[in-house]
Amino acid sequence: MPSQDLEYELFPPRDPSYASQRWGIVTQDNFSPFVNNLVASGYIDSNRMNEALKQSRQLQKPLPEVLENMTNRKLSPKWLRLYKLQRLFELKAIYAVESLDLESAEIPAEQIVDLMENLIPIQTCRLHRILPLYKTKANPPSLVVGMVDPDKLDALDDLKRMLKPHSLGFQRRVITLEDYQHFLNLYLQEKQAEEAARKKQKQDKANQIDLCLDPNAFASVGLQEVGIMTDDNFDDLELQEAGITTDDDLDDLELVDLCLDPNAFASVGLQEADVEDQDDMDLNKSLQGGYSPPVVKTINQILAKAVSDRVSDIHVEPQQEGVRVLMRKDGVLKEVYQLPLEFRSPLVARFKIIADLDIAQHQQIQEGQFQRIFQGETMYFALCCLPTQFGEKIIIQICKNFNSVKSLINFDKNLSLILAYNMMEIGAEDDIEKRGKLSILPPQKTYLEILKRQEVDVNFNVMFTVQEAIIKAKECLNQPLPFGGVDVRELAGYFDYVYRGEGRVDVPSDGEFHSVALTAKNTKIGMYYVTVPRKGNHVFRIARLLNPLASPLLNGLVDVYLNGEYLLSTQIKTVPPKGELDLGLGVEQSIKVARNTSYRENWSGHILVGLNEFHHEIKIDLANNLSKPAKIEVRERIPIPAKNAKVDIIIDAVSPPWKKYDQTERNLPIAGGYHWWVNLSPGEEKTLSVAYIVKTATDQALIGGNRREE
């Protein structure tokens, strides 16, 4: 069979003298390696991939899940593994902390459970999303801690406080949210099994009958059944049995795990439409009664806890990984419970039903009211539901009568002012209506007071100016990006990062994009040169830089100046903190390269088979006319036979020795690639050579001609 010669694919840099061309050593690829490889495999085309990326961002779902739903094809474990490795690389770049793949680290789950029992309690692990992994054998020893957010200051302070009595330091490792949840669930499952065994033993001993009609349903979702309670005083309620710790410190309050098996929810009635709801419901009796769906029981526990602790308001906040329940007491808002992700939508739906709100409306703010009986006293609740990034947030104000309930959204249509205690003032003594009461300052007055403290005189309508600025800001959102600009939200696998400027900057308010200087850093730089003689006689300057920042350099356009003069602009890929970056600086005219080839044909005869031998020789001459040494990479390629072709290619001689080059650093792998690394002194010349032979049967010919080199 005839052999096909593959086209050369090194894509060398182009001549920067052409204004319409860009420097080509660094790729201008807007996709991550995972996405590039997935598109190249034929799993999905680039247009549908762009659509999948947008859906992933809008729905807050992992990209593999969106791809599988879109294509109705499962991704192989290999692709899922590649996605996870890419995510770990991104986390490492974001936080400048070593990442750890718990899937391959082979850390025994029993070891993590033991550390959580003896060093870092489960409440702290869930509050800060951390896992104690193992102790190092160094002197002094330290504890390696996996953290979803290794920059969380509260978590770092708590770790120092807890480990100091044990004479332990700690080392941070960033882990994925999925790994954290997996190991946390393993711990909770073990504790649930222990608790179930202990409870069974206790019940057998006391020979008591639980009031729960279906205890198996509760066990399937991790709720501990409520036992028989005869004391009407809620303060004496067996909180531990209800799934709430009795610790007075709100920071340590934790609801017993509410979801170890998400699939079990369908069996315990998360569809709340059939649950009877009455305004005269007694919270004590509801907690002591028989079977209730998990969401109903959870809401009753939250309300009972809030009323018992005399808090002023409750906040149920949806998060990406679950639901936070916060309560405000004496003006301080603290987190009380962390609920699993499966409670996010059912919890909001149940609250809407209680407050008689539109359960199908998710885009508008809604207000409602309801009441409950607690210790014989009727308590009134004003509820506000508003949309947020990860779902709908619930705010509940607790009052003793509806007359004292005020609208939660009628503060200049700005709900955030509810929490703006620093923007409130107490009523004057001569103001009978407002005397002794806190009220929100009018926005106009607030702005004027701030400006007055900064010694700024104002003689114009502040609110009109602010509104005008908001309108202009919204118009800027639709402005096209400047030449070379990159919207990182459109780049799969990349991320935003906050850079703090070292000084003040002024940006003209003209609706146009402006470049501002945030910082200036010096860094180490090494220079080398790259040439691909097969494609041209240009030698390109490459500067290898060390990122001097403790933060990543994001994908985008870079302007290069040499000796204070503009040289060129180029696109760079994301560089991690302290990582290396290769930056092209154009053509170096003082290094010359020439490539010459020779060709001859031979025939070798055997008794049965005759062979054609096509001898090719390549000589590359280099000359360094610089006044300093030059390190040069010379890239070359030889033909490769087509699959199943009866063609042999033999490398006869190479001087000096070379190494294989596969171009994987550009995510464009090739076969048949080689390169030399040559060091030339000032004024030195050197010749590189390679000879190879193509052998075919005498009755065959090569497509495109027998001569491979021109």
Residue carrying structure tokens 């949309």:
387
Question: Residues 11, 13, 17, 19: is their CA dihedral positive or negative?
Answer: positive
User: For residue 226, is pLDDT > 70?
Assistant: no
Judge whether 481 lies within some domain: no
Residues 243 and 156 in one domain: no
Locate the DSSP E strands across 123-248.
Answer: 130-135, 142-147, 169-174
Judge whether 445 lies within some domain: no
Residues 170 and 234 in one domain: no
Residue carrying structure tokens 């990860």:
390
Q: Nearest Cα to 302, choosing from 221, 378, 394, 385?
A: 394
User: For residue 324, is pLDDT > 70?
Assistant: yes
Residues 20 and 105 in one domain: no
User: For residue 225, is pLDDT > 90?
Assistant: no
| pLDDT value of position 657 | 93
Amino acid at 208: Q
Judge whether 613 lies within some domain: yes
Judge whether 36 lies within some domain: no
User: For residue 622, is pLDDT > 90?
Assistant: yes
Least confident of 64-68, 350-354, 416-420, 595-599: 416-420
- Which two tokens mark 99? 């990442």
- The span from the CA of 56 to the CA of 78, in Å, is 20
Mean of pLDDT values over 225-241:
32
Residues 204 and 217 in one domain: no
Mean of pLDDT values over 240-258:
31
- The span from the CA of 128 to the CA of 161, in Å, is 14
Whole-model pTM? Answer: 0.37
Q: How far is CA 581 from CA 207, 467, 486, 495, in A?
A: 72, 44, 18, 18
- Contact indicator for 355, 370 with CB cutoff of 8 Å: yes
Phi, psi values for residue 59, rounded to 5°: -90, -5
Angle (CA) 24-28-32 rounded to 5° is 135
User: Where among 167, 182, 208 does a domain terminate?
Assistant: 208
Question: Residues 402, 408, 413, 419: is their CA dihedral positive or negative?
Answer: positive
- The span from the CA of 430 to the CA of 568, in Å, is 70
| pLDDT value of position 116 | 86
- Contact indicator for 614, 133 with CB cutoff of 8 Å: no
Beta-bridge mates of residue 379: 372
User: For residue 212, is pLDDT > 90?
Assistant: no
Residue carrying structure tokens 């609920």:
339
CATH code of the domain in which 111 resides:
3.30.300.160
Judge whether 469 lies within some domain: no
| pLDDT value of position 325 | 93
Total domains in the chain come to: 3
User: For residue 223, is pLDDT > 50?
Assistant: no
In percent, the amount of the chain with pLDDT more than 90 equals 14
Task: Spell out the residues 6+ positions from residue 446 whose beta carbon is closer than 8 angstroms to its own.
Answer: 423
- Which two tokens mark 209? 């009958």
| pLDDT value of position 705 | 62
Residues 172 and 218 in one domain: no
User: For residue 641, is pLDDT > 90?
Assistant: no
For helices 33-40 and 77-95, angle between their N-to-C axes, nearest 10 degrees: 160
User: For residue 463, is pLDDT > 70?
Assistant: yes
| pLDDT value of position 538 | 92
Mean of pLDDT values over 36-61:
83
Least confident of 375-379, 399-403, 430-434, 600-604: 399-403
- How many other C-beta atoms are found inside a 10 Å radius of the C-beta of residue 431? 12
Phi, psi values for residue 23, rounded to 5°: -60, 135
Residues 367 and 220 in one domain: yes
- What is the tens place of the pLDDT at every residue in 77-109? 888 888 888 888 888 877 888 888 888 887 888
Task: Spell out the residues 6+ positions from residue 300 whose beta carbon is closer than 8 angstroms to its own.
Answer: 283, 286, 287, 292
- Contact indicator for 673, 662 with CB cutoff of 8 Å: yes
| pLDDT value of position 478 | 66
Angle (CA) 216-218-224 rounded to 5° is 115
Query: Which range has the top average pLDDT, 72-86, 294-308, 591-605, 619-633?
Result: 619-633
Three-class DSSP labels, 9-38: CCCCCCCCCCCCCCCCCCCCCCCCHHHHHH
- Which two tokens mark 81? 């593994």
251 in helix, strand or coil?
A: helix
User: Where among 390, 406, 422 does a domain terminate?
Assistant: 406
Mean of pLDDT values over 284-300:
69
- The span from the CA of 323 to the CA of 303, in Å, is 16
Confidence of residue 443 (pLDDT cuts 50, 70, 90): low
Residues 642 and 530 in one domain: yes
User: Where among 153, 173, 208 does a domain terminate?
Assistant: 208
Mean of pLDDT values over 516-532:
89
| pLDDT value of position 246 | 32
Residues 234 and 247 in one domain: yes
Confidence of residue 4 (pLDDT cuts 50, 70, 90): very low
Mean of pLDDT values over 278-296:
61
Beta-bridge mates of residue 440: 424
- Contact indicator for 586, 568 with CB cutoff of 8 Å: yes
Confidence of residue 238 (pLDDT cuts 50, 70, 90): very low
Least confident of 166-170, 440-444, 464-468: 440-444
User: For residue 136, is pLDDT > 70?
Assistant: yes
What value does the CA radius of gyration of the chain take, rounded to a whole number of Å?
Answer: 35
- The span from the CA of 293 to the CA of 272, in Å, is 8
| pLDDT value of position 147 | 92
Query: Which CB contacts under 8 angstroms, 24+ apart, belong to 196-200?
Result: 199/224, 199/225
- Contact indicator for 542, 586 with CB cutoff of 8 Å: no
Measured in residues, the chain has a length of 710
User: For residue 132, is pLDDT > 50?
Assistant: yes
| pLDDT value of position 377 | 83
Residues 261 and 398 in one domain: yes
The DSSP code sequence of 583-604 is: EEEEE-TTEEEEEEEEEEEEEE
User: For residue 453, is pLDDT > 50?
Assistant: yes
Residues 176 and 252 in one domain: no
- What is the tens place of the pLDDT at every residue in 669-696? 888 899 999 999 999 999 999 999 888 8
| Cis geometry, peptide bond prior to residue 150 (ω within 30 degrees of 0) | no
Locate the DSSP E strands across 54-182.
Answer: 130-135, 142-147, 169-174
Confidence of residue 465 (pLDDT cuts 50, 70, 90): confident
| pLDDT value of position 635 | 94
User: For residue 280, is pLDDT > 70?
Assistant: no
Task: Spell out the residues 6+ positions from residue 61 whose beta carbon is closer than 8 angstroms to its own.
Answer: 55
Mean of pLDDT values over 629-642:
91
Which strands, in side-by-side order, build the sheet including 142-147? 130-135, 142-147, 169-174
Mean pLDDT taken over the chain: 74
Confidence of residue 660 (pLDDT cuts 50, 70, 90): very high
Query: Taking the mean position of all CA atoms in its chain, how far away is CA 430?
Result: 55
- The span from the CA of 319 to the CA of 392, in Å, is 10
Residues 154 and 271 in one domain: no
| pLDDT value of position 205 | 60
Q: Nearest Cα to 137, choosing from 171, 92, 179?
A: 171
User: For residue 543, is pLDDT > 70?
Assistant: yes
Judge whether 89 lies within some domain: yes
531 in helix, strand or coil?
A: strand
- The span from the CA of 569 to the CA of 532, in Å, is 22
- Contact indicator for 696, 676 with CB cutoff of 8 Å: no
- Contact indicator for 488, 496 with CB cutoff of 8 Å: yes
- What is the tens place of the pLDDT at every residue in 559-580? 887 777 777 778 788 888 888 8
- Contact indicator for 171, 136 with CB cutoff of 8 Å: yes
Mean of pLDDT values over 182-206:
78
- Contact indicator for 638, 5 with CB cutoff of 8 Å: no
The residue range of the domain holding 183 is: 76-208
Mean of pLDDT values over 39-54:
86
Confidence of residue 619 (pLDDT cuts 50, 70, 90): very high
Residues 185 and 227 in one domain: no
Judge whether 60 lies within some domain: no
- How many other C-beta atoms are found inside a 10 Å radius of the C-beta of residue 692? 19
β-strands 169-174, 142-147 pairing? parallel
Exposure string (b/e) for 42-52, b if CB count within 10 Å is 16 or more? ebbeeeebeeb
Judge whether 295 lies within some domain: yes
